[in-house]
A and B are shown apart, each in its own frame.
Chain A
Amino acid sequence: MTDATVSEAEIEVVRRPRRWHIAVFLLPALIVYSAVMILPLFETLRLSFFNTVDGQSTFVGLANFRTLFGDARWAADFWNALSNNVIFFVIHMLVQNPIGIALAALLSIPKLRGAAFYRTAIFLPTLLSFVIVGFIWKLILSPIWGVSPYLMDLIGLKSLFAPWLGKPGSALIAVSLISVWQYVGIPMMLIYAALLNIPEEVIEAAECDGVTGWAQFFKIRLPLILPAIGIISILTFVGNFNAFDLVYTVQGALAGPDGSTDILGTLLYRTFFGFQLQLGDRSMGATIATVMFLIILAGVSLYLFVIQRRIRRYQF
Chain B
Amino acid sequence: MSKARTSLSRTALVHVALIAYTLIAIFPVFLTIINSFKSRNAIFRNPMQLPTPSTFDLVGYQTVLGQGDFALYFQNSLIVTVVSIFLVLLFGAMAAFALSEYRFRGNTLMGLYLALGIMIPIRLGTVAILQGMVATGLVNTLTALILVYTAQGLPLAVFILSEFMRTVSDDLKNAGRIDGLSEYSIFFRLVLPLVRPAMATVAVFTMIPIWNDLWFPLILAPSEATKTVTLGSQIFIGQFVTNWNAVLAALSLAILPVLVLYLAFSRQLIRGITSGAVK
Q: A118-B22, A238-B119, A242-B124 are in contact. Are A125 and B47 (CB under 8 A)?
A: no
In the bound complex, how far is the Cα of B110 from the Cα of A33, in angstroms? Answer: 12
List B contacts of A109 (CB < 8 A).
14
List A contacts of B208 (CB < 8 A).
127
**Per-position binary interface string of chain A over residues 135-162, scored 1 when its CB falls under 8 Å from any chain B CB and 0 otherwise:** 1110110000111001000000000000
Q: Are B117 and A37 in contact (CB under 8 A)?
A: yes
Q: Kindly state whether residue A202 has any CB partner on chain B within 8 Å.
A: no
Q: Are A128 and B255 in contact (CB under 8 A)?
A: yes
Q: Are B255 and A132 in contact (CB under 8 A)?
A: yes
Q: Are A36 and B151 in contact (CB under 8 A)?
A: yes
Listed stretches A4-12, A40-48, A69-77, A84-92; interface member: A40-48
Q: Kindly state whether residue B223 has any CB partner on chain A within 8 Å.
A: no
Q: Are B128 and A32 in contact (CB under 8 A)?
A: no
Q: Are A136 and B147 in contact (CB under 8 A)?
A: no
**Per-position binary interface string of chain B over residues 150-178, scored 1 when its CB falls under 8 Å from any chain A CB and 0 otherwise:** 11101100100000000000000000000
Q: Are B121 and A296 in contact (CB under 8 A)?
A: yes
Q: Are B120 and A293 in contact (CB under 8 A)?
A: yes
Q: Are A32 and B150 in contact (CB under 8 A)?
A: yes
Q: Kindly state whether residue B31 has any CB partner on chain A within 8 Å.
A: yes
Q: Are B214 and A140 in contact (CB under 8 A)?
A: no
Q: Are B91 and A29 in contact (CB under 8 A)?
A: yes
Categorize the interface residue count of chain A.
Answer: 35 or more
Q: Are A106 and B119 in contact (CB under 8 A)?
A: no
Name the CB-closest residue of B to A105: B14
Q: Are B92 and A129 in contact (CB under 8 A)?
A: no
A-to-B contact residues, CB < 8 Å: 19, 21-22, 24-26, 28-30, 32-33, 35-41, 43-44, 47, 99, 103, 106-107, 109, 112-114, 117-125, 127-132, 135-137, 139-140, 145-147, 150, 181, 184, 189-190, 192-193, 196-197, 231, 234, 238, 242, 244-245, 248-249, 265, 268-269, 272-273, 282, 285-286, 289-290, 292-293, 296-297, 300
List A contacts of B4 (CB < 8 A).
none
In the bound complex, how far is the Cα of B130 from the Cα of A286, in angstroms? Answer: 12
Listed stretches B56-64, B195-203, B229-237; interface member: B229-237
A227 to chain B: closest CB distance in Å? 9
**Per-position binary interface string of chain B over residues 247-273, scored 1 when its CB falls under 8 Å from any chain A CB and 0 otherwise:** 110010011001100110010001001
Q: Kindly state whether residue B108 has any CB partner on chain A within 8 Å.
A: no
Q: Are A29 and B128 in contact (CB under 8 A)?
A: no
Q: From DSSP, what is the main secondary structure of chain B's interface residues?
A: helix
List A contacts of B274 (CB < 8 A).
189, 192-193, 196
CB-defined A-B contacts under 8 Å, sample of 30: A25-B98, A26-B95, A29-B95, A33-B114, A35-B151, A37-B125, A37-B151, A41-B124, A43-B132, A44-B128, A99-B21, A117-B22, A118-B19, A118-B22, A122-B25, A123-B266, A131-B254, A135-B247, A137-B28, A145-B44, A147-B47, A196-B274, A244-B214, A244-B215, A249-B214, A269-B215, A282-B131, A296-B119, A297-B120, A300-B120
Q: Are A128 and B152 in contact (CB under 8 A)?
A: no
Q: A37-B117, A282-B127 are in contact. Are A106 and B18 (CB under 8 A)?
A: yes
Question: Which residues of B from 171 to 189 have beta carbons under 8 Å from A?
Answer: 182-184, 187
Q: Select one of A114, A131, A136, A286 contacting B234, CB under 8 A.
A: A131
In the bound complex, how far is the Cα of B21 from the Cα of A118, in angstroms? Answer: 9
Q: Are B251 and A146 in contact (CB under 8 A)?
A: no
In the bound complex, how far is the Cα of B114 from the Cα of A289, in angstroms? Answer: 21
Knowing that A36-B150, A189-B273 touch, tell me 6 more A-B residue pairs with CB under 8 angstroms: A40-B131, A106-B17, A121-B22, A124-B259, A231-B279, A249-B234
In the bound complex, how far is the Cα of B121 from the Cα of A168, in angstroms? Answer: 29
In the bound complex, how far is the Cα of B208 from the Cα of A127, in angstroms? Answer: 6
Q: Are A296 and B120 in contact (CB under 8 A)?
A: yes
Question: Which residues of B from 1 to 36 have beta carbons under 8 Å from A?
Answer: 11, 14-15, 17-19, 21-22, 24-26, 28-29, 31-32
Q: Are A120 and B270 in contact (CB under 8 A)?
A: yes
A218 to chain B: closest CB distance in Å? 17
B44 to chain A: closest CB distance in Å? 7
Q: Are A44 and B273 in contact (CB under 8 A)?
A: no
Question: Which residues of B from 86 to 102 have beta carbons under 8 Å from A?
Answer: 87, 90-92, 94-95, 97-99, 102
Q: Are A132 and B47 in contact (CB under 8 A)?
A: no
Q: Select one of A120, A131, A297 contacting B237, CB under 8 A.
A: A131
Q: A128-B29, A192-B274 are in contact. Are A103 and B98 (CB under 8 A)?
A: no
Q: Kindly state whether residue B243 has any CB partner on chain A within 8 Å.
A: no
Considering residues B90, B94, B122, B126, which has the most beta carbons from chain A within 10 angstroms of its beta carbon? B126
Q: A129-B254, A147-B31, A190-B273 are in contact. Are A33 and B117 (CB under 8 A)?
A: yes
Considering residues A139, A244, A285, which has the most beta carbons from chain B within 10 angstroms of its beta carbon? A139
Name the CB-closest residue of A to B116: A38
